[in-house]
Amino acid sequence: MALRALPITGILLAAGSGSRFSPDGSADKLLMRLPDGTPMALACLRLLQTISERVIAVVRPEAQTLSELLLGAGAAILPCPTAAEGMGTSLAFAARACLAQPSACVVALADMPWIRPATFTQVAAMLALHAAVAPVFEGQRGHPVGFGAALLPALATLSGDEGARRLLQEGPLYRMDCDDPGVIQDIDVPADMDGAHNFYKA
């Protein structure tokens, strides 16, 4: 039986400093190009856009080039002045912005470009049945993570760098088994780009 499609807001977390990738700050990790020439963050945005026309990108206020890139591709830009406090703070900032027009949301990280579009579709579809959904590959929980609209107030209270881990541990979470290794593959350091051909498909 087909699931009833829910209104979805995509949230792209693109406010990290990328300090492990470029310790001296000379390179913006999220602007690094994948094998087909697409900037990393743009590839992640396009994945979210396969499930929603409304995508909010949380960025650092000083990330002008990144902001212009994502804005030009159709994202709403949300500069987070407290982004340096961590992922939880950035996610809470986005959740508060969503409260004015509540909907289910799917949260993706801007340094995970090798997730299959079908995985995004499956996570979004499962939100018709579950309060929170996360893909699991070989026992490891990954991204993107879906949250029902009822969880937005809780997301809005997050802080620090823990993200939504505590919320997912305490509340109901549907662990969606998948065969997509991209759900656990992020890019932290330049060496992580070496395995791009194992995951990325144009």
What the block records as the tokens of 202 is 């144009």
Q: What is the pLDDT of residues 121-134, one digit of tens each?
A: 999 999 999 999 99
The residue with tokens 């996570």 is 123
Using CA atoms, how far apart are residues 2 and 131, in angstroms rounded to an integer?
A: 18
Q: What is the pLDDT of residues 159-184, one digit of tens each?
A: 877 667 777 776 689 999 999 999 99
pLDDT at 67: 97
pLDDT at 58: 97
Q: Look up the pTM and report it.
A: 0.89
What the block records as the tokens of 82 is 């407290």
Tell whether omega for the bond before 144 is within 30 degrees of 0, i.e. cis.
Answer: yes
Q: What is the pLDDT of residues 29-56, one digit of tens each?
A: 899 998 888 999 999 999 999 999 999 9
* 8-195 maps to CATH 3.90.550.10: yes
SS3 41: helix
86 Rama sector, left if φ>0, alpha if ψ -120 to 50, beta otherwise: left
